[in-house]
Amino acid sequence: MKRTLLTLFTLFAFQALLFGQQEAKPGTGKNVSILLYDDGTWRYADSVPHYANNSTTITGLEIPKTNPKNNIISHTGYSLLFNNKHKQANWVAYELTSAETNKQFERTNKFLPDPDVTSGTANDNDYKGSGYDKGHLAPAADMGWSATAMAESFYYSNMSPQTPGFNRGIWKRLEELVRTWAIENNSVYIVTGPVLTNGLQSIGANKVSVPNYFYKVILDNTEPGINGIGFIIPNTGSDLPLQSFAVTIDSVEKLTGIDFYPALPDKQEKIIESKLCLQCWSWKSVKSGNENDKNKTSTSVQCKGKTKAGSACKNKTLNASGYCYLHENQQQTNTSNQATPAKTEKMATSVQCSGTTKAGNRCKHMTKSPNGRCFQHGGN
């Protein structure tokens, strides 16, 4: 319990420091850190069990709650709600399946006005010489499954002014990680966008607002349990790990005023959106062609491991062994028990451990264990 409280205090202090450095304030006039944490509903709940998913398929699950008077624009790969005042989308929403992460079409890099936005979008001149990137909300890399979806991902309605360090750095890292989650969970539901408030700086003749923050919320709605997670990241470069910016979906709702995943049953939505379970998600992106991918499968499976309580692990994994990184040592122990003879002798020369770390890298420890593994990875 003390450790949990310490973790909470450390996270709150860090986020307060991080957001406190920004001048932007939400519409209530409160600092962002206060808005996120002052209501007492935050639950940093890695120990909260998964919510069992017994529901049928929900159509349009990714679409946030929207006033009937507002016009939702639907393209081949994503939907959006355009904000004419700020000349960009309030949100962009789409489902990303495992199959859709297999790129078949290259980037067009041809930025175009969105023909479905009758009030007009930004254009090339707005961004020219501004110092800001034309930052995708729904990334082009998520749309490589269709030539039309790829072309439409370059509509200006899907763009927002992003600093180069943000767009090409931490935002790109998050996009790559979400694609990994789509592979591991077969599909995920994504809503992403800028945090739009009054008084923002603007660029170009169309006065395109420059957000101080961007958000992304992700829902895994597949068996054996479902989970949600949110991110709020300042529009600036950062080398911090993505976990540092993870928050509950409830927190993103408080900051943006957007009600995410309203199609979920109310009880289910309340549980999912109020908890933050970092251990429910993997934190290393899987890139095609990466040497570390040789021990990965193309389809995720439920981990074969057991928790400390003796229950079946509910994490999903791409590891060919069938064990997630938390329980990889169980697979190694089982293999060792089956293959090790009654009497073993240490090797005369030390070798590098053949196990992998939680991050998916080769273990750097040296060992003389007959099975080629150090004590941390099942050596004997």
Residues with a catalytic annotation lie at 136
Beta bridge partners of 246: 231
C-beta of residue 210 within 8 angstroms of C-beta of residue 204: no
Beta bridge partners of 232: 215
CA torsion through residues 119, 159, 14, 51, sign:
positive
Dist CA 32 CA 318 (whole Å): 36
Buried-state track 151-172, b at ≥16 Cβ within 10 A, e below 16: bbbbbbbbbbbbbeebbebbbb
Buried-state track 26-59, b at ≥16 Cβ within 10 A, e below 16: beeeebbbbbbbeeeebbbbeeeebbebeeeeee
* 199 torsion bin: left (phi>0), alpha (psi -120 to 50), beta (else): left
Q: What are the φ/ψ torsions at residue 234 (nearest 5 degrees)?
A: -60, 150
CA distances from 35 to 11, 12, 31, 187, 250 (A): 15, 12, 6, 31, 11
